[in-house]
Amino acid sequence: MQEMDFPTPAEPVESVEPHELKAAIDAGEPITLLDVRMESEYEKWRIDGQSVESINVPYFHFLDEEVDESVLEPIPDDRLVTIVCAKGGASEFVGGKLLELGYDVNNLAEGMNGWASIYEAVEVTNYDGPGTLLQYQRPSSGCLAYMVYDDEAAAVIDPLRAFTDRYLEDAEELGVDLDYAFDTHIHADHISGLRALAAEGVEGVISQAAVDRGVTYADEMTLTEDGDVFEVGSIDIETVFTPGHTTGMTSYLVGDSLLATGDGLFTESVARPDLEEGDEGAPEAARMLYESLQEQVLTLPDDTLIGGAHFSDAAEPAADKTYTATIGDLVESMEALRMDEDAFVELILSDMPPRPANYLDIIETNLGQQSVDDEEAFTLELGPNNCAASQGALTEE
């Protein structure tokens, strides 16, 4: 049964918009969620938070005219319950059933698709370079991007295709021209917005090394190598070649203050090394990553901010609500950054998390080797990113 086939409930079910639910979670309000997706989908990807109680009862348990008491047992009847599904249809149907039984419920509008549409811009106030730096946060997948602007010029790093219009609209609202769009690498968890922005007149930038992986659109982009500098108003953005997560992994040093590390280094972990060459190539990639971290990243001043392209549930935001941290703090908190090479390699290969959903299709799309429309692109990237090594052994308790 497709979601569009669910009958309309006899009693209307109120909806809560995704941004309203996110605001309540951020405020620490107690939230009870009933997720009616299949257990396999729920286990891979769901809405979490310190104040969130999440219950999974798949929708098919509610298809009978009379709902079995055992199905209702885990669902509280003394508080508001927000029902969640993939697109909003199944949850509305279940909500109607529960309303008839006297439960206080509402429905998350557009379900997890609506949740995946949340994209927030937060200023990085600890950034002390010229201009202003924003961090874009997508809570559904933990994807991060950056916009820096100054003197009527702007650049975006690691843009997402789904939010192409957002970057252009934000630049217009800020009164700046979006001159550059940088990709740190060929992403495996989301569809890059680089080509979509280039089609709108923005200069796209990828590393020369990334082209060696088979990028089909290199002639449409500006190619960059280690040490190249791009000017955005009075802001210098320097290319810092940091292979490891991929052979073309490239970081960008913004205003000598923040290093946008892509998937090389996060505030709670380091990159996983197996997404380009698989398990067989992971040991060599791990050694490449170690060298990049030790020689290219950790040699920068301790007060340099690190901003990755992702955050996980294990990440703690900084005081300014961004997922950034100084190199000095990361070296102190992350044991992996203080290890010798052999110990580092052994550690990050010891417990690799599941690979991102649809990662092979996403990589081929980002290489330009296959085409998908906007709806297909959005669907491909739903779910957690899983681009980091497992966090458990990487940071000190």
Q: Which two tokens stand for residue 385?
A: 């990113």
DSSP SS3 for 336: helix
Nearest to 143, CA basis, from 215, 205, 192: 192
Matching residue, tokens 């680089």: 194
Token code pair at residue 317: 């935001």
Catalytically active residues, by annotation:
85
**Which tokens hold the place of 1?**
């049964």
Q: How far apart are the first and last CA of the chain?
A: 46
User: Which residue, among 127, 129, 22, has the nearest Cα to 82 in the 3D structure?
Assistant: 22
Alpha helices in the chain (DSSP H): 18-26, 39-44, 69-72, 89-100, 111-115, 164-174, 194-198, 208-211, 278-292, 327-333, 341-349, 359-367, 374-380
What is the residue type of 120? E
Residue for token digits 């190598």?
225
- Residue 358's Cβ-side half-sphere holds a number of Cα atoms within 13 Å equal to 17
Q: Which residues contact 207 (CB under 8 A, 6 or more apart)?
A: 185, 223, 224, 225, 239, 241, 248, 250
Q: Among residues 396, 269, 279, 267, which one has the least CA distance to residue 349?
A: 279
What order of strands is seen across the sheet that includes strand 153-157?
120-123, 132-138, 143-150, 153-157, 177-182, 203-207, 222-224
> 305 - beta bridge partners?
258, 326
The torsion angles phi and psi of 181, rounded to 5 degrees, stand at -130, 120
What distance in Å separates the CA atoms of residue 20 and residue 32, rounded to the nearest whole number? 14
| Residue 352 per-residue DSSP state | P
Q: Residue 113's CB: how many other CB atoms inside 10 A?
A: 18
